[in-house]
């Protein structure tokens, strides 16, 4: 019987070693997996940003009332007129309040840019986009003294010669 007890003790000791060894191997693989995820080469992402949820940027759209603007012309007698509607967008959460408060500056900036255009230049495009949109965006941002306007969309335009 003494031999039987010693044999049972050896078996129990061997199975404990086997369980501990299995746990060590399991932890080793888990560590390799986590390390690979954390230290993998991701150029544009910081270490902390991998573990924090991304906050989605909220785009604010602010439609402007219709504009009726005289274009620059050689002749004052037959001055061309453009009727246009615009929507400006921003990623700044306080932009809608700013646009509403400073609407006179925003409208003045648009009128200034458009009034300096001619019939020949109002529809100029580059890569499928009206060039005037960038000019309007820059002028509004200048007037507001902040880069708050993200994009300008021309929602309606009509030119009368």
Each residue's pLDDT tens digit, 4-61: 666 666 666 677 777 877 888 888 877 777 776 666 655 555 655 666 666 667 888 9
The structure's pTM equals 0.63
Q: What are the tokens at 119?
A: 């019939």
Closest by alpha carbon to 59, among 153, 140, 150?
A: 150
Pairwise CA distance, residues 156 & 136, whole Å: 15
pLDDT at 91 over 70: yes
Give the position of tokens 């021309």.
154
Q: What's the burial of 132, exposed, middle or buried (CB within 10 Å: 0-12/13-18/19+)?
A: buried
Measured at the CA of 148, the angle between CA 105 and CA 90, to 5 degrees, comes to: 110
pLDDT at 140 over 90: yes
């Amino acid at each position: 019987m003494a031999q039987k007890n010693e044999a049972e003790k050896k078996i129990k000791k061997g199975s404990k070693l086997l369980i501990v060894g299995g746990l060590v191997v399991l932890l080793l693989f888990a560590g390799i997996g986590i390390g690979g995820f954390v230290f993998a080469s991701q150029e544009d992402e910081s270490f902390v940003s991998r573990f924090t949820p991304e906050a989605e940027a909220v785009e604010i759209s602010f439609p402007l009332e219709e504009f009726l603007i005289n274009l620059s012309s050689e002749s004052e007698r037959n001055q061309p007129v453009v009727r246009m509607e615009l929507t400006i967008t921003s990623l700044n959460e306080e932009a809608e309040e700013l646009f509403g408060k400073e609407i006179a500056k925003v409208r003045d900036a648009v009128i200034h840019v458009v009034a300096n255009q001619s019939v020949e230049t109002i529809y100029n495009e580059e890569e499928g986009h009206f060039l005037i949109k960038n000019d309007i965006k820059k002028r509004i941002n200048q007037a507001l003294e902040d880069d708050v306007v993200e994009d300008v969309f021309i929602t309606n335009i009509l030119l009368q010669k």
